[in-house]
Structure 1
Amino acid sequence: MKLKNWILAAEFAAIVAIFAQLTFPVATIPLTGQTFAVGLAATVLNKKTSTWALVLYMLLGAIGLPVFAGMKGGVGVILGPTGGFIVGFIFNTLLTGAWLEKFGHTVVHGIIANLLGAAVTLFFGTLWLWLALQTNFAAAFQAGFVMWLIPGIIKGVAAALIGLAVRRALVQAKLLEA
């Protein structure tokens, strides 16, 4: 990767960390701006750069920096009940970025890609929650997926629309390659 892409990855890791602090305590799993920022990264950047941004974000949190929701950090957060969502972010950016690279950065494909990416995050989060809490799968599915479906759709559509506008502006300014 070029230095410019590493800088973009670091910037978006910081953006995700900032948006993670926009937290609304709803249940065991808080509603955060983090998933919106993940979709934004995946829409604005290419697949490789956005994925590295989320790997960097996870590594920063793993070493103890307070980048996760609620100013938390440490391996314990990743290994805890909500850690699957954080791991899922990486696969979200892989899928969202791959979709956009294959089908183009249009509004329709931006929304489809972000909704699929959000579903991947929820899938990983649900599985992790199920395993970490050793509960029945129906309860984990309700708490980790169903409860977050509507917010995920809203944040996915918003990330697509805002991300595509930001991407166009950065490409026009020659700060990002098309």
Structure 2
Amino acid sequence: MTPMPETNPSAAAVDAAAPIRVAHRSPAADVALIALFAALIAACALLPAINVGLPVPITLQTFAVGLAGAVLGARRGFLAALLYVVAGLAGLPIFSGGAGGLGVLAGPTVGYILAFPLAAWMTGFLVERIPRERVALSVPLVFASALAANFLFTHPMGIVGMALRVPDLTLAGAFRIDVVFWPGDAVKSFAVAIVAVAVHRAFPSLLPARRTTD
């Protein structure tokens, strides 16, 4: 009689657990990445803005915020954007036009600034749920994630902020102003998708793995 091949229960258990394993991450590396992307948001804010005669200028901040979420994931993207906002409100001149301090909360950009951490979190939350094996769909899905985060948080909060801080400006008027930013945000969201997908292909373990129980 031919002996049955031996099986290794422990090896089978390891294979079964493979889909839910999450790679160990260094806290120091996480802190460095959070600080790096906070600095990137600040750099994009300090680049020359496009002033089209509106209360809020056009900047690259939303690009950097979306990229933080798409590259780092929800938690670290949120913390990177939050670090940027807190540092600016603490007095560092890292908001658009070199502004800084609590006085920014009285300006027309307050809603957009306060939305940044939430937009980064939402982008990361959605990107983390994109199937990793569907490489062909990565760019359009990351694009949709960044754009959805903007329309869920950045634009609504920005509209409310303008309506509250600009004299005699209604919500309807603030909405009409905000519409001007939509085409640029679509372009920036597409750029987020291109850069984020390239980064994840080069560093596949950078984005946190989503736990599954299948």
TM-score normalised by structure 1 residue count: 0.91
The ranges of structure 1 where at least 4 consecutive aligned residues each deviate by more than 3 angstroms after the TM superposition are 174-178
1:156 corresponding residue in structure 2: 189
Q: What secondary structure, in the 3-state scheme, does the structure 1 residue paired with 2:203 have?
A: helix
Matched, 1:40 2:67: yes
Render the CA deviation track for 1:82-140: whole Å, top value 9, x for unaligned.
11101111111121111111234622210110111122211111111112225211101
Aligned to 2:5: none
Q: What displacement does 1:168 show?
A: 2.2
- Tell me the distance in 1 between the aligned counterparts of 2:179 and 2:93: 28
CA contact (8 A) 1:50 1:97 kept: yes
Match status 1:55 vs 2:82? yes
CA contact (8 A) 2:42 2:84 kept: yes
Partner of residue 39, structure 2:
14
- Report what 2:139 is aligned to: 107
* 1:136 paired residue number: 170
Any stretches of 5+ residues in structure 1 without a counterpart?
A: none
- Partners of 1:54 and 1:90 within 8 A in 2: yes
Identical-residue share of aligned pairs (%): 35
Cα 1:158–1:175 change in 2 (3 A) is closer
Q: Give the aligned partner of residue 150 of structure 2.
A: 118
Which amino acid is 2:33 matched to? L
Query: Larger radius of gyration, structure 1 or 2?
Result: 2
TM-score normalized with structure 2 length: 0.76
Cα 1:17–1:139 shift into 2, 3 Å: same
Residues 45 and 167 in structure 1, CA contact (< 8 A), matched pair in contact too: no
Higher helix share: 1
User: Could you tell me whether the CA contact under 8 Å between 1:43 and 1:167 is conserved in 2?
Assistant: no
Coordinate RMSD, CA, aligned? 1.8
**What is the count of residue pairs matched by the alignment?**
175
Match of 1:2 among 20, 23, 27: 27
Cα pair 1:107 1:160 within 8 Å, conserved: yes
- Paired amino acid for 1:160: A
2: distance between equivalents of 1:167 and 1:78? 35
- Could you tell me which runs of 5 or more consecutive residues in structure 2 were left unpaired when the two chains were aligned: 1-25, 133-137, 210-214
